[in-house]
Amino acid sequence: MGYLITTAPIGFVATLVFGTVALPWVIAADRLIRRSTELSGSQLALLVVAGTLLLGTVAPVSGVVLGAVERFRLRLVDDEPLPGLPPPRPGHWLRWLRDRYTDPATWRAVVYGFALSSLVPLVYFVTGIALLMVVALVSSPFIVSAGDPITMGRAAVDTPAEALPWALLGLALLPAVPYLLGLVAGAHGALARALLGGADEQARSRLAEVVSSRARLVDGFSAERRRIERDLHDGAQQRLVSLTLQLGVARLDLPPDSPAARSVEVAHDQAKQLMAELRELIRGIHPQVLTDSGLAAAVRELADRSTVPVTVAIDLPERPVEHVESTAYFVVTEALANVAKHSGATAVTVSARRDGRTLVVEVTDNGLGGADPTDGSGLTGLADRVAAVGGTTRLSSPAGGPTVLRVELPWR
């Protein structure tokens, strides 16, 4: 209701401003249609020039102001407000005005100004007539009883008894009045949103750029992880394997009870331990089995190394894109680590399936539940990793369990 009431003063001002802008064009068009000889060619040209000047000077500035007011008023009928135009920076007013003239949102606001000064008043006038008709129907018995006969269509109503059916009709229509007002306000709001959504389009464009840049960063990070894994696997690990073999051979060549043999034995054991740690580090960066055999094989390898029994149920018709597959793998890795550390579970189920354009990964355990992302369990980092590829994370972990972690990732 507040939106409809505030439309009246704003519409009046818009009619004065945009009516003045349109007046030279209306006069010129009227004379041309009627082929009137009251105006000479030079006078018509003068009208066109005047209309062009008003359209190029008054209309854009008025459209910017009207757009700002209407974006504020839309909050009365719309839960999702339109973002406003960027404010001018100090000392850059001229550049800001120049940008407004080249911004499509400004000219859509001008179109909205013309609609607010022509089409909207017509709709509100028809709505007002409908409301007056309902009021007249309801009050018809009182009008007739005061001695004033009325006419309902072709029927003349002279007595309150004759007006009673019309009053009942008005009472029946009365509940529809709020719906009518809501329909008019909603249609007006939809028109405003459609024509003033230029800033919203800019925001969506910027968001699309952010999403694209985030996707490029994710791809870059994935490529860098694979490069590091490959360098460690083909370089450092191979050298460490060679060193371990040389220490083993040297250990065999030395007398068993000599001090040198004991030193070489210690170095040999440390080299084997370091090789195992390096293998785990490489697997944590990007496991080779994930690259070679896909998500199902990589998760089964995780299940074999888990301290908690894991059931794997992965049925994928094809492999998703590489960074999505990698993200799904690390989701399972982090989830299984959390189960082993915090849940007290005796069984875990890992499933993955394709649901339309989405890869759905679920990790379910029968532990104690009560998982909280704020207690340092790694769930926050996991959610951030998923969000980086445009996915969503859902966690259900009531006290007493079970805990279900569901991650949805875009397939492409």
User: pLDDT of 8-48, one tens digit each?
Assistant: 888 888 888 888 888 887 777 777 777 655 666 676 778 77
How many Å is the maximal CA-CA distance in the chain?
133
Is residue 206 one of the residues assigned to a domain? no
Number of neighbours of residue 14 by Cβ within 10 angstroms = 26
Q: What is the pLDDT of residue 17?
A: 85
336 and 281 within one domain = no
Is residue 205 one of the residues assigned to a domain? no
Is 348 exposed, middle or buried (CB count within 10 Å of its CB: 0-12, 13-18, 19+)?
buried
Residue 216's pLDDT band, with cuts at 50, 70 and 90, is low
160 and 257 within one domain = no
305 and 281 within one domain = no
402 and 345 within one domain = yes
Q: How far apart are CA 48 and CA 55, in angstroms?
A: 10
- What mean pLDDT value characterizes the chain? 78
The helix (run of H) or strand (run of E) holding residue 82 is: none
- What single-letter DSSP state applies at residue 86? P
User: 327 is in which domain, residue-wise?
Assistant: 290-410
Residue 169: strand pairing partners: none
297 and 332 within one domain = yes
Q: Choose the weakest-confidence range: 47-61, 124-138, 318-332, 348-362.
A: 47-61
Q: What is the dihedral sign for C-alpha 373, 379, 384, 387?
A: negative
Q: What is the pLDDT of residue 376?
A: 57
- CA-closest candidate to residue 294, choices 352, 248, 358: 352
Rounded mean pLDDT of 208-212?
Answer: 64
Domain count, the chain: 3
| Of 264, 285, 306, the domain-final residue | 285
Residues recorded for the chain: 412
Is residue 207 one of the residues assigned to a domain? no
Q: How many helices (H) and strands (E) does the chain have?
A: 13, 7
Is residue 212 one of the residues assigned to a domain? no
Q: What is the pLDDT of residue 58?
A: 80
Is residue 255 one of the residues assigned to a domain? yes
Over residues 251-283, the pLDDT tens digits come to 777 787 777 777 877 787 777 777 776 666 666
pTM equals 0.46
177 and 139 within one domain = yes
Q: How far apart are CA 158 and CA 325, in angstroms?
A: 82
Q: What is the pLDDT of residue 39?
A: 62
Q: Choose the weakest-confidence range: 80-89, 92-101, 309-318.
A: 80-89
Reduced to 3 states, what is the DSSP secondary structure of residue 344?
Answer: coil
Q: How far apart are CA 395 and CA 407, in angstroms?
A: 9
Please say whether the beta carbons of 286 and 230 come within 8 A. Answer: no
174 and 36 within one domain = yes
Q: Which tokens go with 371?
A: 């998982």
Please say whether the beta carbons of 389 and 313 come within 8 A. Answer: no
Distances (CA, A) of 290 to 58, 299, 329: 64, 8, 8
236 and 180 within one domain = no
Is residue 188 one of the residues assigned to a domain? yes
Rounded mean pLDDT of 160-175?
Answer: 84
Q: What is the pLDDT of residue 194?
A: 79
Q: What is the pLDDT of residue 120?
A: 85
- CA-closest candidate to residue 240, choices 273, 207, 288: 273
Q: Which tokens go with 359?
A: 């890869």
Highest-scoring range by mean pLDDT, 107-111, 130-134, 202-206, 398-402: 130-134
Q: How far apart are CA 315 and CA 115, in angstroms?
A: 56
Residue 200 has pLDDT above 60, yes or no: no
Residue 292 has pLDDT above 70, yes or no: yes
Q: What is the pLDDT of residue 257?
A: 75
Higher pLDDT, 286 or 326: 326
Residue 370's pLDDT band, with cuts at 50, 70 and 90, is confident
Residue 280 identity: E
Higher pLDDT, 369 or 208: 369
7 and 137 within one domain = yes
Q: What is the pLDDT of residue 215?
A: 63
Distance between the two ends of the chain, CA-based, in angstroms? 46
Residue 333's pLDDT band, with cuts at 50, 70 and 90, is confident
Is residue 258 one of the residues assigned to a domain? yes
Q: What is the dihedral of CA 297, 301, 302, 306, to 10 degrees?
A: 150
Residue 213's pLDDT band, with cuts at 50, 70 and 90, is low
Percent of the chain at pLDDT exceeding 90: 0
296 and 257 within one domain = no
Could you tell me whether strands 310-315 and 348-355 are parallel, antiparallel, or unpaired per DSSP bridges?
parallel
160 and 37 within one domain = yes
Is residue 75 one of the residues assigned to a domain? yes
Residue 249's pLDDT band, with cuts at 50, 70 and 90, is confident
132 and 44 within one domain = yes
Ramachandran class of 35: left when φ > 0, alpha when ψ lies in -120 to 50, beta otherwise: left
Residue 202 has pLDDT above 60, yes or no: no
Q: How far apart are CA 71 and CA 73, in angstroms?
A: 5
Over residues 321-330, the pLDDT tens digits come to 887 888 888 8
Residue 346 has pLDDT above 80, yes or no: yes
